[in-house]
Amino acid sequence: MTVLYIDADACPVKDEAVRVGERHNVQIKFVSNSWMRLPEGDLIERVVVPEGPDEADNWIAERAVAGDVVVTADVPLAARCVKTGALVIGPTGKPFREDAMGIRLAMRDLNTHLREIGEIRESGPGFTKADRSRFLNQLETTMRAAKRISS
């Protein structure tokens, strides 16, 4: 049965994920390092992991399998989940695919290095209404695909 995992610490599309998850009647697990106000519902579970780098990522990566859906902006977490067969999308609706993970990891590492040496200062463009809409459409498509895989 499909599970929807949300890397919740910095996720701007929590309510949208709940709407789609509930429409598909799947268990929704919000995973974070601290308690946060989240939508309530019978299908929703709040998972608070111990403080520490990558604790939430590790929790998700150890459980996500083929037929599950993961929502994260974290490229290394996405790579780990894609490797297990889970379907992964970012909060802007961009899917993470196995054939593109190498370049996405390399770009992440390059941007991290450029920020560390002061060559770039901003973290990227802000989150827009178009991103939210794209996310909703892509999550709907991804959820249908995941349910086909898990049946």
- The proportion of the chain whose per-residue pLDDT surpasses 90, expressed as a percent, equals 66
Among 42-46, 82-86, 126-130, where is mean pLDDT lowest? 126-130
Tokens of 135: 């996310």
Tens digit of each residue's pLDDT (9 = 90 or more) over 105-136: 666 666 666 667 777 777 667 889 999 999 99
CA atoms lying within 13 Å on the CB side of residue 5: 31
CA 46 to chain CA centroid, nearest Å: 15
pLDDT confidence of residue 53:
81
CATH number of the 3-97+128-150 domain: 3.40.50.720
Burial 46-85 (b: 16+ CB within 10 A, else e): bebbeeeeeebbebbbebbeebbbbbbbbbbbbbbbbeee
Tens digit of each residue's pLDDT (9 = 90 or more) over 49-66: 998 888 999 999 999 999
pLDDT confidence of residue 47:
96
| Statement: residue 21 has pLDDT above 90 | yes
pLDDT confidence of residue 100:
66
Q: What is the DSSP letter of 19?
A: H
Distance CA(147)–CA(5), nearest Å, equals 14
